[in-house]
Amino acid sequence: MAHLLKGLAQPEITESVIPYGKLDATVQELLCAAYVVRQCAYAPYSNFKVGSAFRAKINNQIFTGCNVENAAFTPTACAERTALTKAISEGYQQFSTGAVVAYKPEVFISPCGVCRQFIREFAGNTDIPIYIAQALDERSPEEPFNSDDPVLCTSIFNLLPKSFHTY
């Protein structure tokens, strides 16, 4: 029966916390893009601003998104889904990396369940590394992170193991 488990997505990456300064420059660039777009968040109800960025495999192009809330609450779009929806609608469906930034004291923020499933859709059979960092409002958009800022390096198959997928 164990063979039935083999087709289920399993993490390809071991989660770790790495100082920002030790990350690859392409990952630093992605995190900075997420920080910058977070400033556009429309979050008058929660006041919780989130920024996200995904790098497409083709052209290494970065797509960014922020959360967009709504008075009726349910129509709210999370930052991750905004970024991916922008990318998909521009013709990009495969992603090498993703980033999410927000601020909650003393803890990394972690993508909601709906966003995990949404990201997973575009992973296919290959895990997508996801980098999560705390965004501090007092930092400048030119230099939003310090080299010793902790970054959670995880992946969509870590965040959503054994996920639902039909093909």
Subset of 118-147 contacting ligand THU (CB under 6 A): none
- Sign, CA dihedral 34-47-80-153, equals positive
80, 90, 106, 138: the catalytic one is: 80
Phi–psi pair at 158, nearest 5 degrees: -75, -45
Q: Which stretch binds ligand THU (CB under 6 A): 31-39, 78-86, 126-134, 154-162?
A: 78-86
Nearest approach, Cβ of residue 18 and ligand THU (Å): 21
Q: Is 53 in the site for ligand THU (CB under 6 A)?
A: no
12 a catalytic residue? no
Q: Which stretch binds ligand THU (CB under 6 A): 1-9, 22-30, 75-83, 130-138?
A: 75-83
97, β-bridge pairs = 55
Using the minimum distance from each CB to ligand THU, give the nearer residue, 47 or 140.
Answer: 47
Total residues binding ligand THU (CB under 6 A): 13
Residues 6+ apart with CB under 8 A from 47: none
- Residue 135 DSSP symbol: P
The structure tokens listed for 39 are 């400033």
Q: Is 76 in the site for ligand THU (CB under 6 A)?
A: yes
- Sign, CA dihedral 30-159-9-93, equals negative
Question: Sheet holding 51-56: strands in order across?
Answer: 16-19, 150-155, 129-134, 95-102, 51-56, 62-66
- Residue 69 DSSP symbol: -
Which residues are part of a known binding site for Zn(2+)?
78, 112, 115
- The residue from 8, 58, 112, 136 that contacts ligand THU (CB under 6 A) is 112
Residues that bind ligand THU (CB under 6 A): 43, 46, 48, 50, 67, 69, 76, 78-80, 111-112, 115
The residues annotated as belonging to the active site are 80
